[in-house]
């Protein structure tokens, strides 16, 4: 069978690309080895799909080239996807920090994208493994299942290896390398961090959550952190994990709402109060007790030297953890790194050295913050390629 374009991967970016290209009159074949489309969409946002973020901007994405995402994100913005959702009469609501979710189910987003593909008569082939991809005489030849398809354009939209239980693989990278494209080392992102050594003691706090500011390098996020039986998680930690590298420390401000010298102020106002009592009024009890033990501050504030209280305040504002690692791709929401943007056009997502070859979505070295940013990149990059096919 001959097509104008073959798209590998029926996730967010692949579905968007197929819908846009087919509605522009292109004969499109969309292939996925999974038995249903949009598997990651279906599990996202607790089953309600955090489908975009109204604060989407290029500076909320990581890439070896921080300018690469600007073109696609500006030409297909969050408002454009919201308009599509509204046209399909899918009810949605805004949660914290500009995150948009379906009122109902993530299935509505997948159904919407499939309907958009159907409008353009795109052919969708599911449950078919791609066995081989060849390129000769300006055409790509794809063997999938027991069929062969040929097209002058091939779009790689198979994502990264995060959440392998959903069928995720590093197929995109293998294919990119086959065609001479470079790959920035992939690593788990938006992933819980693990603790070892003396910090294992914090595992006793499993289940305790509190608002913090998490920092590493120049990046910092103010959201909730959660202690787990393996280490640290929660939105603040997931966010900072994308910037963290092995060997780096992360700093946690346990009391971001407290101003400077709050502890000395408490000593003046309530000299007979115990340190752990004051801390327990500001933090969950189990966490307050654990930090008090680590600081070794027992007794009334009146009996503690100011310098000790000042040191305690400094440590609570920048408590250092040295993670031993992450929970890996199995628990990572997305993959950082991927197909190098150096080899792609930022306007069309086409490979500079292989005309007709495109790469979109998570498989590309563009990784968004937590909160709908990665879906917006999927929609925008898929749209950009779909406009070019």
Helix, strand, coil shares of the chain, percent, nearest 5, are 35, 25, 35
Q: What is the pLDDT of residue 60?
A: 98
Encode pLDDT of 153-166 as tens digits: 999 999 999 999 98
Query: What is the sign of the dihedral through the CA atoms of 359, 361, 362 and 364?
Result: positive
Question: Whole-angstrom Cα distance, residue 336 to residue 216?
Answer: 16
Question: What residue ranges of the chain have pLDDT lower than 50?
Answer: none
Encode pLDDT of 328-342 as tens digits: 999 999 999 999 999
Q: What is the pLDDT of residue 295?
A: 94
Q: What is the pLDDT of residue 368?
A: 98
First to last CA, the chain: 18
Residue 95 gets which letter from DSSP? -
Encode pLDDT of 155-201 as tens digits: 999 999 999 998 999 999 999 999 999 999 999 999 999 999 888 87
Q: Retrieve residue 59's tokens.
A: 């500076």
* 140: exposed, middle or buried (Cβ count in 10 Å: 0-12, 13-18, 19+): buried
- Whether 7 contacts 17, CB under 8 Å: yes
- Whether 386 contacts 12, CB under 8 Å: no
Buried/exposed 92-123: b ≥16 CB within 10 Å, e otherwise = beeeebebbbbeeebebbbebbbebbeebebb
Which residue in 226, 138, 243, 231 sits closest to 189, CA to CA?
243
Q: What is the pLDDT of residue 235?
A: 98
Q: What is the pLDDT of residue 197?
A: 87
The angle subtended at Cα 220 by Cα 215 and Cα 221, nearest 5°, is: 115
Q: Retrieve residue 343's tokens.
A: 């080899």
């Amino acid at each position: 069978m001959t097509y104008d374009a073959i798209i590998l991967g029926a996730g967010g970016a692949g579905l968007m690309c197929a819908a846009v290209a087919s509605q522009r009159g292109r004969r499109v074949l969309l292939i996925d080895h999974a038995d249903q489309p949009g598997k990651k969409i279906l599990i996202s946002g607790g089953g309600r799909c955090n489908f975009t973020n109204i604060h989407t901007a290029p500076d909320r994405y990581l890439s070896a080239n921080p300018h690469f995402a600007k073109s696609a994100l500006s030409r297909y913005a969050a408002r454009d996807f919201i308009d599509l959702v509204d046209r399909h009469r899918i009810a949605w609501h805004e949660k914290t920090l500009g995150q948009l979710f379906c009122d109902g189910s993530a299935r509505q987003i997948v159904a919407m994208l499939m309907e958009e593909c159907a409008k353009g008569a795109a052919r969708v082939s599911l449950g078919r493994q791609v066995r081989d991809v060849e390129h000769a005489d300006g055409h790509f030849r794809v063997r999938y299942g027991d069929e062969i398809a040929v097209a002058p354009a091939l779009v790689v939209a198979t994502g990264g290896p995060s959440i392998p239980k959903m069928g995720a693989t590093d197929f995109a990278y293998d294919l990119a390398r086959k065609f001479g494209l470079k790959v920035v080392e992939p690593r788990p992102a938006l992933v819980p961090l693990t603790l070892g050594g003396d910090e294992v003691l914090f595992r006793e706090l499993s289940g305790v959550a509190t608002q913090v500011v998490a920092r590493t390098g120049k990046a910092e996020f103010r959201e909730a952190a959660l202690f787990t039986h393996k280490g640290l998680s929660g939105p603040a930690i997931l966010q900072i994990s994308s910037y963290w590298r092995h060997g780096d420390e992360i700093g946690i401000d346990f009391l971001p709402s407290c101003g400077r010298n709050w502890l000395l102020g408490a000593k003046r106002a309530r000299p007979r109060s115990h340190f752990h009592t004051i801390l327990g009024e500001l933090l969950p009890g189990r966490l307050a007790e654990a930090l008090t033990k680590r600081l070794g501050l027992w007794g009334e504030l009146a009996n503690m030297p100011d310098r000790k209280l000042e040191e305690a305040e400094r440590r609570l504002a920048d408590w250092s953890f040295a993670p031993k690692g992450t929970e890996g791709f199995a628990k990572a929401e997305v993959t950082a790194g991927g197909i190098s943007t150096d080899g792609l056009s930022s306007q069309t997502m086409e490979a500079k050295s292989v005309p007709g070859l495109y790469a979109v979505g998570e498989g590309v070295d563009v990784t968004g913050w937590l909160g709908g940013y990665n879906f917006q990149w999927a929609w925008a990059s898929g749209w950009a390629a779909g406009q070019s096919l």
